Amino acid sequence: MAALPRLFGADAPRPGKHTWRHSLTRWLFIGISLTFLVAVLIAPLLTVFAMALAHGIGVWLHAFSDPDTLAAIRLTLLTAAVVVPLNTIFGLAAAWCIAKFEFRAKSMLITLIDLPLAVSPVVAGLVFVLLFGLNGWFGAWLQEHSISVIFALPGILLATMFVTFPYVARELIPLMQQLGNDEEEAAITLGAGGWLTFFRVTLPKIRWGLVYGVILCNARAMGEFGAVSVVSGHIRGLTNTMPLQIEILYNEYNFVGAFTVASLLTALAALTLLVKSGIDRAGYRRR
């Protein structure tokens, strides 16, 4: 027994424990977990890059020369540039209001903020079609003034905003509740005003949570498919975002093209996770 090597960080065997049984369950659990994750998650992720690079890096790069793909990338960046700052401001306001104060109807407000997460993205797109579409509430008026919302940029922005707006708020609310009000109260007894307290005390305190909320919101905004698909109209080079472009290319059996765009979005998702785990680790050091 004494000669048994210690497996990776395993607990020192407790007296009377059947150590072989202990490590059997342990490796069984780890094995099941990894197999499941490989089949469902890791294999598809690797496929994305394998397919994108199947014909070499040259072909991969060439796929970007497609003007429609470039237009889709531009539109996606524009969408994120508009939606993410707005949702960040909303998230900060909502988190301040919910985490710093006690008021009635607070739990209802939290539920309403969560609502877009539970609503199907297709329904999210649908509601804007019903409001601004040709037969929608404001449809006639919009047409009179020749403003297009549906099948145009404003619709894409609205649908994306609807789907992604809880992300910053949801990241900040628990963080601000957990950090408490002591530092803000200290700043106020030291003579600081509201804005100064917010910018000098609260914002630095929550900055990493905010960063994660923003990049997650960004990843969802760039990757939103269902809601945008309903309102965009799939006009090539005009109202196609990257995920929609993936669909079109895929349906045309242009797999390299589809997976090339997909590999960009996958890299963005991976970067998002990388930043998150970096923040988590930094967070442990700070506390």
Partner 1 sequence: MAASTRTFREPSVLPGFGLTFGFTTFFLSVMVLLPLAALVLVAASMHWLDFWHVVASPRALGSYRLSFGASLLAASVNAVFGFIIAWTLTRYDFPGRKMVDALIDMPFALPTAVSGIALTTVFARNGWIGRYLEPLGVHVTYTWIGVTLALTLISMPFTVRAVQPALAEVQRDLEDAAETLGAGRFTVFRRIILPTVLPALLTGFTLSFARAVGEYGSVIFIAGNLPLKTEITPLLIVIHLEEFDYRGAAALGVVMLAISFVMLLAINLLQAWGRGRLLRRRS
Partner 2 sequence: MSITLDQVTKHYGGAPVVNDVSLDIGDGEFFVLLGPSGSGKSTLLRAIAGLTGIDHGRISLHGRDVTHVSARKRGVGLVFQNYALFRHMTVAENIEFALRVRRMRARRRRERRAELLRLVALEGMDERMPGQLSGGQQQRVAVARALAHKPEVLLLDEPFGALDAKIREELRRTIRQVQRELGITTVLVTHDQEEAFAMADRIGIMNLGRLLEVGAPHDLYTRPQTRFVATFLGAANLLLARRTADGIQAGAATLPTAERAAGEREHEVVAVVRPEEIELAPQRAQLTSGYLTQGMVDEVTFTGSLERLRVLPQSDSGGTLLADADGEARAMLHVTRSQYEQLGFAVQPGQTVAIGVRRLHVLPTPLSSFTACAADEAGAEALGRQPFLAELAARMKTRIALRVEPLWDSGAPARGADHGFVGITVLAAQPDGARHARWLLDRGATDVLLLPHEARAPQRVLIHWTQPSARAATLAAAASLLRHVAAEAVYLGIQPRRDDGAQPQGMRALLDARAEAQAAHGLDMRTELRVGDAAQELLRRLAEAPGQMLILGIGAAADCDGSLQPLLTGARWPVLLVRR
Of residues 23-82, which lie at the interface with partner 1 (CB under 8 A)? Answer: 26, 29-30, 32-34, 36-37, 39-45, 47-48, 51
Exposed, middle or buried, 2 (CB in 10 Å: 0-12/13-18/19+)?
Answer: exposed
Q: List the structure tokens of 261.
A: 């765009």
CB 176 to partner 2: min, Å: 14
CB 260 to partner 1: min, Å: 11
Q: Residue 154 touches which of partner 2, partner 1, none (CB < 5 to 8 A by kind)?
A: none
Q: Which stretch binds partner 2 (CB under 8 A): 107-115, 137-145, 154-162, 187-195?
A: 187-195
Closer to partner 2 at the Cβ: 115 or 196?
A: 196
Closer to partner 1 at the Cβ: 25 or 146?
A: 25
Contact (Cβ atoms closer than 8 angstroms) between residue 121 and residue 194: no
Contact (Cβ atoms closer than 8 angstroms) between residue 113 and residue 166: yes
Closer to partner 2 at the Cβ: 18 or 285?
A: 285
Closer to partner 1 at the Cβ: 58 or 193?
A: 193
Q: Which stretch binds partner 2 (CB under 8 A): 46-54, 178-186, 225-233, 270-278?
A: 178-186
Stated as kind and residue range, the H or E segment containing 16 is none
Q: Residue for token digits 């996770």?
A: 273
Residue 191 lies near partner 2 (rule: CB under 8 A): yes
3-state secondary structure 189-222: HCCCCHHHHHHHHHHHHHHHHHHHHHHHHHHHHH
Of 171, 170, 163, nearest to 117 by C-alpha is 163
CB 144 to partner 1: min, Å: 19
Residues listed for the chain = 287
Of 214, 133, 123, 136, nearest to 163 by C-alpha is 123
DSSP 133: S
Residue 275 lies near partner 2 (rule: CB under 8 A): no
Closer to partner 1 at the Cβ: 60 or 128?
A: 128
Q: Residue 33 touches which of partner 1, partner 2, none (CB < 5 to 8 A by kind)?
A: partner 1
Residues that bind partner 2 (CB under 8 A): 182-183, 185-193, 196, 200-201, 204-205, 207, 286
